Structure 1
Amino acid sequence: MGFIKAAKADKMSDHARRAAAEGRSIFIAQFRGAVSHSPVLSRPIADIAEMIEAVEREGWHLDQFTSVPWKDNMTITGLFRRAVPQVAMTSAQQQMATPPAMPQQPSGAVGAATWGVPPQQ
């Protein structure tokens, strides 16, 4: 990888690593690359694949993106996601977060008691 490509990828990696260290679950990045004006030419956009790979190496996953032409460049905005570990809750927090158990209603099978009424003998 050339010096400029490596520098761009390293900078994007630094931003992604910092967002992860801050505990973020979403990282939005903007990438810009030169576009072709030929209607038949398909080709990679310079440096963008390398920058996206650098972000993904930091544990992010490209979830969505959009692209917008800007002068002679293409601006791509990518939304990256990562799982954020849940902080352990205290027992008091767990009790508040857990709703009280509700009694089970009978299934309606033969011989099952009617809800709230004891079975007849």
Structure 2
Amino acid sequence: MAKTYFTEDHEWLRVENGIATVGITDYAQEQLGDLVFVDLPEAGKAVSKGDAVAVVESVKAASDVYAPVDGEVTERNQELSSDPSLVNSSAESNGWLWKMKLSDESQLDGLMDEAAYKAKLA
């Protein structure tokens, strides 16, 4: 069963069978405003926790998206290259950014669950 985690930098990751789907939270996309461009990592790229992996650009600002854990990018959301607004309309489902194979699942222990993330925003 998939489990969802959240980071201090407003990323979410849904983990199932050692693969994490990563995106930005609904709160983050609201802060950015309408996205006009998304720069995503290539499949096969090794990333370390805290690395800037992607860039989301809105009419207001460009913002880095960080790797929440160590791993290897396995896929990127191709739909976003032609329709970055998917992140605005569906940040925590269809607007995912990339998928990655985890290299150290113990790193998930340092992340927040949804209740803790919502408490942080409150």
Per residue, is there more helix in 1 or in 2?
1
Determine if the TM-score, normalized by the shorter chain, exceeds 0.5.
no
**TM-score normalised to the size of structure 1?**
0.25
Which structure has the greater CA radius of gyration? 1
**TM-score normalised to the size of structure 2?**
0.25
Per residue, is there more strand in 1 or in 2?
2
